Amino acid sequence: MAPLQEAMHDLLDRQLPIAVPIEIIYGLAANALDAEPVAGIFSAKGRPADNSQIRTPLAAIGGKIRLILDGGACDVGVESTVVDGLPSPGVIKVLRPGGLTVEELQRVLGPGTKVLVHKRDYEDPEIEHVPTTPGMKYRHYSPTTPVVLLLRTPPPEGKKAETIHDILDELSPQQEDFRVGVLAFSNSPITLACITTHYHTHRYSLGNRNEPSEAAHRLFDGLLTLDAEGVDVILVEGVEEDREGLAVMNRLRKAAGEVRYIWG
């Protein structure tokens, strides 16, 4: 039986959910007219009933989903943009940045409308206390390996800038076989600094620093790949918070266990 026919058989005859690629990420599909296969989506992902988005990687729901239509890597790589559906006059509020960038929204809406990003441009204690969208409620995919986000921006009061060597010496339990995963841009000094240490380094490129869409495209695959390689810690280089980089940093801040500031 051809793959698409097999998928249709699972959806309509067996009443099973399947995994399919969309433009941003892989998602789970089921017959929406039957409660049982729909419930199977949430069961497969281990998600509560108000959160059907697949932040759990596919390579982790293996065995729970019988069929995955493999379409290769998705074009965008991060989840969709969530916009407040009840904006104030002349204002659009982005609750979660995603593949549709703030700059693209602003260009379409024109200069007469302000596009505000939650946590960057405004705070809303009420919506933070009772989030209205799963994109704000739940933590995004985090690997089992500890993730440390590295920023080059000036540290806030009470924090200090450090060297890569100092950070790794603190994180490692002085074991000779300590392995470091590095998720950074091509030719990044972070990668070079890790290579010059005595630790075993596993590298995954985020692409070109000037193309944040590449970082968005590679982010989750990089985390998954390094996690699967059994590293002891994953160091991730922060990106500029514009265009797709805003969505990347939104995901990284939710995935990282801590943030450290580095020199240079």
Binding-site residue ranges: 80, 96, 141
Q: Which residue ranges make up the annotated binding site for ATP?
A: 96, 141
The DSSP secondary-structure symbol of 140 reads P
CA 194 to each of CA 170, 181, 240, 260, 264: distance values in angstroms, whole numbers, following the listed order? 14, 9, 21, 15, 15
Q: Which residue ranges make up the annotated binding site for L-threonine?
A: 80
Sign of CA dihedral 13, 17, 22, 26: negative
Segments of the chain assigned E as strands = 18-21, 26-29, 82-83, 91-96, 114-117, 147-151, 161-162, 179-184, 200-205, 233-237, 258-262
CA 154 to each of CA 151, 162, 196, 263: distance values in angstroms, whole numbers, following the listed order? 8, 11, 24, 9
Scan for tokens 């097999």, then name that residue: 6
